[in-house]
Amino acid sequence: MKRNPSTIVRLFPSPRAYLYAMAFFFAGGWLLHALTAQEGIGPGEIEFTPFSLFSDPRYSAMEIVALIAVLGIAIGGLLYAFLLARQVVRADRGTQRMQEIAAAVREGANAYLAAQFRRIGPLIIVLTILLAVTYTGTVEAFRWGRAVSFLVGALFSWTVGFVGMRLATTGNLRVASAATRSYGEALQLGYRTGTVTGMLTDGLGLLGGTVIFLIYGEHAYEALLGFGFGGTLLALFMRVGGGIYTKAADVGADLVGKIEKDIPEDDPRNAATIADNVGDNVGDCAGMAADIFESYEVTIVAAMILGLASFGHIGVIFPLLVRGIGVVGSIISTYTVKAGAGNTSDTALRSVHRGFWIGSIISVVGFFILGFFYLRFDAEYIAMNPMAVGGFPNGDPLQLSWFAGLGIPGLDLRPAYTCLIGVLLAIVLNKVTSYYTHTAHRPVKSLAKACDTGHATNVIQGFAVGYEATVTTILVLAGAILISALCYAGAGPLFVAFGVAMTGIGMLTLTGNTISMDVFGPVADNANGIGEMGYEPQKMEATAPGNYRRARQILADLDAVGNTTKAETKGIAIGTAVVAAVSLFASFIAVIAVGSEDKINQMSDSQFMAEASRLTIAEPLVLVGLLIGGAVPFLFSSMLIGAVGRAAFYIVKECRLQFRDTDIWAGIKKPDYGRVVNICTNTAQKELIGPGLLAILSPVLVGFLLGPYALGGFLAGMILVGQLLAVFMADSGGAWDNAKKLIEDGHYGGKGSEAHKAAVTGDTVGDPLKDTAGPAINPLIKVMNMVSLLSLGLVLSYSLMSNRGESPLISVLFVAVCVAGIGWAFRQSRKESPEDSEEV
């Protein structure tokens, strides 16, 4: 095979493709502008003054103070993150050689994020403008409020991902260095690196929500939607791009290294090793951090929107205060995570888990005390917030059951209960994930055993395990939603939805701890890689005999702990998608009911019920929407899996080429790591456009083609199938991974046996499922939800199925643009490079 320069060139983002995408959006923008101009913006029906809540008599002084306090906590969280970051940066940086390797990884990671920024940046700008232009309401301040909030949400999401990755690539070196000194120091440093990202997520998420509420008060809905959309969209891109990057590098490195050449992972002769390590940061740090940030953001957005529409301002301030308590709980509990110098992974894991428990207890006690004092409703409050009437039996808060009010007149602890359900849900989801993916339990053992009869039986058993895992998970989620709904039995649908939203708030109360646990995984993994490539055994042994082996063992142990903590947190992120989506459904119906988002506060219960009843599965259009919605997660996953395959193919080719250089193979010449990093970076950028377009355009297409009710069905189908598929892929992948580890620990013949080969096959199959397609479905669900909500105003006016009297030509145009966009994305995802399409 000749080294064909066109291969490399083709990998770069094709400027033409880029141009097309931009043209789509600009054409859309122009169209929309023409439309809104045609409608004419009448005199504002709604009066709006920013920061009016400070002078609003409905808000007590205590509430204003509490909001300011939340703001303070948010800033405090950011400060804590900054202090930890400084600790990490100042830690010892190890030897020259280790620094070199860490620098290569960091450079690769930075190059990736820079490339992504160049590609996504303009899209975000265009979407910001588009959001402003397509605003169908009547208040000019909301037009830009939403657009700017979108931009801020996107920037926050980006920041979390960026800083998380920067810190991780800083921390890995320090952890590798600390491991030469003590176990405890290494663990603490790694965990704190994760905590920085965790607290950043907490701080920025809380800051955004609070500031928007302070500015917009009861009209926060508009801006919050934009804020949530910005966060999810960025997270989707980071997840997709990072997921493709990390698995292409991993699969490519494994295929060439472990399978073809039979050399260990992280062997410095393999040109793909640096890319593999970069991938861990790009996928598991940047992607995961942005993803959880987005979950944190969307759950607070859902709770604030529904809180306002149901219980009035108490309903919006309570979730903010709960989040504030959660941040305090995280700060305290993450600081307690420590390990002694000579500890083992078991005690380390116990310390991490103890931190989580401490945080949970602080939070739960905190928000029950808060609820006891704050959640008081009386006739005066209801007179000022008339929407709250539907939330109480006969509209009277004094008639609440003993369960809700502990017999104290006017007390309504239901929001605290639903929050508690969320906390418990997070814990149960952690346990479920751990049961299906941890080596200590039956499922992973059954996989290891199946390896004994070959590749195929391992893969088949993985299907059985993954299917069962997703069933258990969705039943747990359904149970939690059911119990949350039962807490509000008898109340109106918006109140029930608020209950579900509060469950989402509860789930992510301990985001700080969750992210710390998650990011710790790739940091430890990378530190291990730096140890493998960067430690100098002779030198180390010369200084202190036995030190090299001890340090390597510490790193291996930390890597195992990291794998476990990382796996445990996976269930939470995906679970939030369903909970947030279910609660956002109520907003969706509310908008259909009143015809435009800014009138949402004027909606009556009967209007809501009338529209909700049209979203019936008995209606063929809704059912067709449901079927189409269910198809999207499959198509999306298919695209991503294909993308990983294509990218890995290029990497394999490049590595084979470099291995042919006998100097590289002998280990005397450094391979050109940069080429592989470049291939990964560029392929990931190129491949994320297709799935991204699918996520943005498919709900718009369904809405314009089949109308708002079909869009409702679409959302339901997409949530259901997305959830099932995501957990199936994440957990089967995790189980395969650990089955391999189990065999490598010496079971069924250990490393090198036939069983081990079968286990490696399972692990490789699971890689794109668990780290690319599976986790990307979480932001996918939320992006499609947000797009549906944001485009609903236009859909109501211009859908082909709607009868609101607008010109069908415009609808046809919209449909055509969406079809062209999705078709292009799909074709793009199946395109093969010239050499790739050899005829069979």
**Binding to its own copies in span 698-727, by CB under 8 A:** 706, 712-713, 716-717, 720-721, 723-724
Dihedral angle over CA of 794, 796, 798, 801, nearest 10: 150
Q: Does residue 471 interact with its own copies by CB under 8 A?
A: yes
- Identify whether the C-beta of residue 39 lies closer than 8 Å to the C-beta of residue 135: no
Q: Applying CB under 8 A, which of residues 14, 95, 159, 457 lies at the interface with its own copies? A: 457
Q: Does residue 74 interact with its own copies by CB under 8 A?
A: no
Q: What distances in angstroms separate CA 244 from CA 247, 351, 529, one per listed residue?
A: 6, 33, 20
Q: Which two tokens stand for residue 509?
A: 């109360």
Buried/exposed code over 112-142 (b: 16+ C-beta within 10 A; e: otherwise): bbebbeebbeebbebbbbbbbbbbbbbbebb
Is 412 exposed, middle or buried (CB count within 10 Å of its CB: 0-12, 13-18, 19+)?
A: buried
**To the nearest whole angstrom, how small is the minimum distance from the Cβ of residue 403 to its own copies?**
18
- Closest by CA to 565, choosing from 515, 526, 506, is 515
CA 482 to chain centre: 24
Considering only the stretches 59-67, 266-274, 569-577, 613-621, report the one whose residues sit in contact with its own copies under the rule CB under 8 A: 613-621
Q: Does residue 438 interact with its own copies by CB under 8 A?
A: no
Nearer to its own copies, 414 or 747 (CB): 747
Residues 480-499 touching its own copies, rule: CB under 8 A, are 481-482, 485, 493, 496-497
Nearer to its own copies, 107 or 605 (CB): 605
Q: Residue 362 corresponds to which amino acid?
A: I
Q: Does residue 760 interact with its own copies by CB under 8 A?
A: yes
Which residues 6+ apart lie within 8 Å of 817 measured at CB?
24, 27, 28, 31
Q: Applying CB under 8 A, which of residues 101, 362, 622, 664 lies at the interface with its own copies? A: 622
Stretch 31-50: interaction string toward its own copies, x if CB under 8 A? --------------------
* Euclidean distance between CA atoms 356 and 257, whole angstroms: 38
- Closest by CA to 632, choosing from 486, 761, 773, 729, is 773
Residue 578: φ, ψ to 5°: -65, -45
Q: Applying CB under 8 A, which of residues 63, 107, 396, 619 lies at the interface with its own copies? A: 619
Nearer to its own copies, 54 or 463 (CB): 463
Q: Does residue 460 interact with its own copies by CB under 8 A?
A: yes
Residues 220-279 touching its own copies, rule: CB under 8 A, are 251, 255, 259
Nearer to its own copies, 218 or 654 (CB): 654
Q: Does residue 620 interact with its own copies by CB under 8 A?
A: yes
Stretch 553-592: interaction string toward its own copies, x if CB under 8 A? -------------------------x---x--xx--x---
The DSSP 8-state label assigned to residue 13 in this structure reads P
Q: Does residue 111 interact with its own copies by CB under 8 A?
A: no
Nearer to its own copies, 183 or 245 (CB): 245
Stretch 378-417: interaction string toward its own copies, x if CB under 8 A? ----------------------------------------
- Closest by CA to 775, choosing from 721, 729, 820, is 729
Stretch 153-192: interaction string toward its own copies, x if CB under 8 A? ----------------------------------------
Location of structure tokens 């418990």: 424
Indicate left, alpha or beta for 501 from its phi (over 0: left) and psi (-120 to 50: alpha): alpha
Q: Does residue 4 interact with its own copies by CB under 8 A?
A: no
Q: Which two tokens stand for residue 732?
A: 């089967």
- Identify whether the C-beta of residue 269 lies closer than 8 Å to the C-beta of residue 667: yes
Q: Applying CB under 8 A, which of residues 626, 711, 818, 825 lies at the interface with its own copies? A: 626
Stretch 645-664: interaction string toward its own copies, x if CB under 8 A? x--xx--x------------
How many residues bind its own copies (CB under 8 A)? The answer is 88
Nearer to its own copies, 423 or 578 (CB): 578
* Euclidean distance between CA atoms 72 and 79, whole angstroms: 10
Stretch 526-555: interaction string toward its own copies, x if CB under 8 A? ------------------------------
Q: Does residue 782 interact with its own copies by CB under 8 A?
A: no
* Euclidean distance between CA atoms 642 and 640, whole angstroms: 5
- Identify whether the C-beta of residue 697 lies closer than 8 Å to the C-beta of residue 818: yes
**To the nearest whole angstrom, how small is the minimum distance from the Cβ of residue 263 to its own copies?**
16
**To the nearest whole angstrom, how small is the minimum distance from the Cβ of residue 792 to its own copies?**
14
* Euclidean distance between CA atoms 289 and 287, whole angstroms: 6
Q: Does residue 25 interact with its own copies by CB under 8 A?
A: no
Location of structure tokens 């100098």: 536
C-alpha dihedral sign at 469, 471, 472, 473: positive
